[in-house]
Structure 1
């Protein structure tokens, strides 16, 4: 699985810089002390833990970052990122209200009206319209900013590693936009937020639904996991969506959505998505570990996760 992740990252690299970085990392495997094959597996594991899994939100724990298998300068640069990171104000409620107004108090995908907004008189209900429980969905999860300023624990290393990897992939602008400690430039910025009804939000957080940009601005194909490809109509999900702002607020960033989409494609094409679904399911259902070692992967994954604060706004966990 880890080697397939590397291969599909090459195939679905989101930009030329990311592709060049991937090629350099693969080339470094040839001279690794542990041998080229093991180095390649380690590289795939690194990308799974520090790139793919930042978008796979689940209840419970977060994996401890694996070490990057190549040049020491990465650790130096990551240390600088940790110095730059600052805790940002937790403005989830304000962001949610602003996003609701921008999206006309509806799910951006299904167009269903938010029930709470009707109850609070923010929008008038028209007979015959479908209602839903709309939620504030983050493209880059807000947990990436939920660290202690100046902290040096596993959580801070996990966050710094994820951001550093994005910078290496040519997304320094994304790093600057989402980590700056200002009132308008952080993970709560509206370019990073979507209004989605509960079921769509759940699929988006599980990397089972993503948005692929089309030629027309703000038009996206709604892609779904292979096992859900025929579920569009059952969920009320159109084949394409056209995001439209009903206020002066910015729409979700095409660049953020493209990074998310690339990670979703790689996760499903490589088998990583199904593997981690299985691991997470077993973590919830297993009462005891198997004596024959069959649950070794579950144990290993559980031991590589850290507790994160509960997010009261997510019914299906955070990460």
Structure 2
């Protein structure tokens, strides 16, 4: 699958000579100087420069791009300022979306399945959007993995869906990780244009969730896979209320058994009045931008190495050789 991501971190492409951009050209000059600059942690100056550059090339929104460009210009090509700005986006954007492990399973998943009528299930899902949001997500996505179309094993055993050729354990994946949302990350997401209002956000709804198999959930959590609109498809202002088509993409390519196009539909039940919206396109796009920027800049690899080092190190070295590891961990954990 050739999606233009490459197989490793990529240098920033040259500036457009026809349409010059002072902010991007400033980042390019910073990238050239970065090879000779030393950072006190796992995020190098080169990674910081490329994070800024790829955020300008692949913005979440036009408004977000303008804000990033303004921040870059405000740094006045001072390397220390540009580094702190790049580190800010690594810490409160990429690190926010990057999970070290797959999300823990629900305690209910271990309980013996109980036969449930579909009408009874739908009736139990009634209520505000942020109530029973996981159950509503499974209902909306037809108790299947949205990416492969395979039926959920537990839902088959409960009698909610017919068995498919292959049954899998279906989990509810988050585009915006709820457990890692902080005041600072909300402010950064708002600045990138991912949240229209920094004061009001609720990722505890089906708008932020999609039903996928466990391996795909893990890959999405590690920013290896994401959903992107099908090329050439027009996405208008009413895209959140109509079926919207996406394809699975990422630096590792799509799994062989995934659907060529993923259609995200709302769920409507006129009998009970239950309505479950599809995933919000802005959440999907923000996750996709984070995945692309994290991979192309090398930030995802740097975070992977940091997480692995933290897990493998139980005691810090007496000679101080673990100082960079400690600094990297504290810089990400500090609020």
Q: CA deviation at 1:21?
A: 0.6
Q: CA deviation at 1:301?
A: 2.5
> Number of aligned pairs?
246
Moved more, 296-305 or 100-109: 296-305
2:71 aligns with: 25
CA contact (8 A) 1:99 1:194 kept: yes
**What is the CA–CA distance in structure 2 between the aligned matches of 1:253 and 1:187, rounded to whole Å?**
10
SS in 2 for 1:232: coil
**What is the CA–CA distance in structure 2 between the aligned matches of 1:27 and 1:287, rounded to whole Å?**
42
Structure 2 length-normalised TM: 0.67
Counterparts in 2 of 1:292 and 1:3: CA distance versus 1, 3 Å = farther
1:211 aligns with: 227
1:275 aligns with: 302
Counterparts in 2 of 1:196 and 1:190: CA distance versus 1, 3 Å = same
CA contact (8 A) 2:151 2:162 kept: no
Residue ranges of structure 1 left out of the alignment (5+ in a row): 61-90, 146-158, 179-185, 308-319
1:243 aligns with: 264
CA contact (8 A) 1:219 1:240 kept: yes
1:152 aligns with: none
Counterparts in 2 of 1:241 and 1:174: CA distance versus 1, 3 Å = farther
Larger radius of gyration: 2
SS in 1 for 2:149: coil
1:254 aligns with: 281
Matched, 1:199 2:215: yes
Query: Cα deviations across residues 113-145 of structure 1 (Å, max 9, x unaligned)?
Result: 11111122222325xx21111111111112256
Counterparts in 2 of 1:46 and 1:12: CA distance versus 1, 3 Å = same
Matched, 1:45 2:87: yes
Counterparts in 2 of 1:200 and 1:92: CA distance versus 1, 3 Å = farther
Counterparts in 2 of 1:260 and 1:48: CA distance versus 1, 3 Å = same
**What is the CA–CA distance in structure 2 between the aligned matches of 1:232 and 1:284, rounded to whole Å?**
28
Query: Cα deviations across residues 89-122 of structure 1 (Å, max 9, x unaligned)?
Result: xx98811111111111001111111111112222
**What is the CA–CA distance in structure 1 between the aligned matches of 2:180 and 2:303, rounded to whole Å?**
20
Greater length-normalized contact order (CA 8 Å, ≥ 6 residues apart) = 1
1:139 aligns with: 175
Q: CA deviation at 1:176?
A: 5.9
1:181 aligns with: none
Counterparts in 2 of 1:246 and 1:131: CA distance versus 1, 3 Å = farther
CA contact (8 A) 2:186 2:198 kept: yes
Structure 1 length-normalised TM: 0.70
